[in-house]
């Protein structure tokens, strides 16, 4: 029987890592593929839902786009039910954008709450899970030592 070299093991590890990444990314993207939103609109929804931008001016700044472009996009997102407007407590003339429950659902899916890989890990044989944890810990320690 031939012995497996470090180079062969590293190549296998890299192949497995790429294959796993493809599977997990596919699962993570699935909820977004059915949305009726453009990438531009999705970015706006995420900015508002995480609280990074709550006004048209802030959105324009973060996305480096014009105010009319923001205005048209926000109008569409309000009409679709992803965003809502509310008057600022400090100045009633300033309208703040808030995320609706639909936007909150997108945010949770985007952030991976809960992480679907936990179910897969629970299904592993305890010896395999132990080996995986030991291997990930060794990899993390090796990276820390090189930093």
pLDDT in tens, 21-71: 888 887 777 777 888 899 999 999 999 999 999 999 999 999 999 989 999
Measured CA to CA, the distance from residue 71 to residue 54 in angstroms comes to: 13
User: What global pTM score does this model have?
Assistant: 0.63
Q: For position 108, what pLDDT does the model report?
A: 84
What dihedral angle (degrees, nearest 10) is formed by the CA atoms of 27, 114, 40, 51? -170
Report yes or no: 82 and 102 within 8 Å, Cβ to Cβ.
yes
Q: For position 115, what pLDDT does the model report?
A: 67
Pairing of strands 95-99, 83-87: antiparallel
SS3 98: strand
Q: For position 116, what pLDDT does the model report?
A: 66
Per-residue pLDDT band for 113 (boundaries 50, 70, 90) equals: low
For domain 6-111, the question of CATH label 3.40.50.2300 is answered with no
């Amino acid at each position: 029987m031939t012995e497996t070299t470090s180079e062969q093991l590293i190549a296998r590890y890299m192949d497995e890592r790429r294959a796993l990444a493809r599977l997990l990314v596919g699962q993570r993207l699935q909820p977004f593929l059915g949305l009726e939103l453009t990438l531009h609109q999705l970015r706006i929804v995420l900015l508002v839902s995480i609280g990074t931008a709550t006004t048209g001016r802030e959105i324009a700044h973060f996305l480096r786009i014009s105010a009319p472009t923001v205005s048209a996009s926000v109008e569409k997102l309000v009409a679709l039910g992803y965003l809502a407007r509310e008057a600022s407590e400090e100045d009633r003339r300033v309208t703040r954008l808030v995320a609706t429950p639909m936007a909150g659902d997108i945010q949770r899916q985007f952030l991976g709450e809960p992480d679907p890989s936990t179910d897969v890990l629970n299904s592993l044989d305890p010896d395999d899970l132990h080996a995986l944890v030991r291997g990930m810990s060794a990899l993390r320690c090796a990276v820390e030592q090189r930093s």
